[in-house]
Amino acid sequence: MKIESIGEFGLIEELARLLPEGKDVIKGIGDDAAVLAGRRRDSYLLVATDSIAENVHFRRSSGAYWIGRKGLAVNLSDIAAMGGSPLWAVVNLGIPSGISVRYCRQLYRGMAELAEEFELSVVGGDTFRSPDGIVISVTVIGEVERKRCVFRDGARPGDVICVTGKLGEGRGKHLKFTPRIKEGRYLGESFSPSAMIDISDGLFADLGHICRASGVGAVIGESAIPLAARLRGKSEKVKLRALGDGEEFELLFSLPENEISNLLSSFSAETGTTVTPIGKIIDDQGRRELVGRDGKVKPFPETGYNHFS
């Protein structure tokens, strides 16, 4: 049996099943970051890890600065999705022979500037020869107050589904996004989000992750989804495909309905980022529906990125 046949999520589930999990583990594999017994009685440690590889997640020609920055940014996005703040990072860099020192420096600079912006320290790393392409694996350790930690599995029927920013920005954004740390912190501090995830696999796939983890369903209004300007006037099909691309790195979360008016009146002023209610959590676990602009109800489109397909 080839990997392609069980896919990325199948593989991660295998990993979770086989590998031991024990002391001081609040939540292991299965959320945006692992949640671990913290440094204070009222805090958790968070650990997120993610890799990006040349010709899979980026092209070498996209610019070393942005590639390095993205290697760190995807992990900060995972910390943001738990409501946490980053503390430290370690970097594993696989470099093919023939890459210039200048290129590596630019790559580090992209990481360094983002690390400085979010006040985290890069405390360790390893470099190794990677025969055929650049590989960047970063692990970020963060922290969150226990009562502000937001998991994937707490969405409740009646909660309103919201998303930050605009979706479907496409390739440019995949590389240059700003991790929503500030927004995740503000949500955790001032509201009680019941579930949260960052959009990396695509809106429908990631909302699916929340639904599966929480044992709920979801209904989204297609016209409510905040689309990037570049999609204006485009066909339904193009828009839905863009939403399936993933790598948006916006926050997708559910919030009790009675907090929505407060959220809408303060979020953008406090964070500089827009927030949009796009649907509702429902009781029926099997139902994940999109209400079209024409009022017709259809199941979520089958989209989302699978690294092994």
Rg (CA), the chain: 19
Q: Of the candidates 4, 42, 257, 270, which one interacts with a copy of itself according to CB under 8 A?
A: 4
Q: Of the candidates 65, 66, 73, 130, which one interacts with a copy of itself according to CB under 8 A?
A: 130
Q: Of the candidates 65, 67, 84, 91, which one interacts with a copy of itself according to CB under 8 A?
A: 91
What lies within 8 Å, CB to CB, of 28 at 6+ separation is 16, 21, 34
Q: Of the candidates 60, 62, 63, 105, which one interacts with a copy of itself according to CB under 8 A?
A: 105
What dihedral do alpha carbons 202, 63, 81, 124 form, nearest 10°? 140
Q: How far apart are CA 119 and CA 114, in angstroms?
A: 8
Q: Of the candidates 60, 62, 63, 122, which one interacts with a copy of itself according to CB under 8 A?
A: 122
Nearer to a copy of itself, 137 or 214 (CB): 137
Residue pair 63/174 in contact by the 8 Å Cβ criterion: no
Cβ at position 2, least distance to a copy of itself in Å: 6
For residue 4, the cross-strand partners are none
What tokens appear for 309 in the block?
A: 């397909």
124 forms part of the interface with a copy of itself (CB under 8 A) = yes
213 forms part of the interface with a copy of itself (CB under 8 A) = no
Residue with tokens 């960052």: 198
Which residues ranging from 56 to 75 are in contact with a copy of itself (CB under 8 A)? Answer: 56-57
Nearer to a copy of itself, 99 or 224 (CB): 99
- Dihedral over Cα of 205, 238, 169, 95: its sign: positive
Q: Of the candidates 63, 95, 226, 264, which one interacts with a copy of itself according to CB under 8 A?
A: 95
Residue pair 253/195 in contact by the 8 Å Cβ criterion: yes
Nearer to a copy of itself, 200 or 267 (CB): 200
Say how many residues touch a copy of itself, by CB under 8 A: 82
Q: Of the candidates 42, 59, 116, 215, which one interacts with a copy of itself according to CB under 8 A?
A: 116
Which residues ranging from 37 to 56 are in contact with a copy of itself (CB under 8 A)? Answer: 37-39, 45, 47-56
Helices (H), 191-235: 203-214
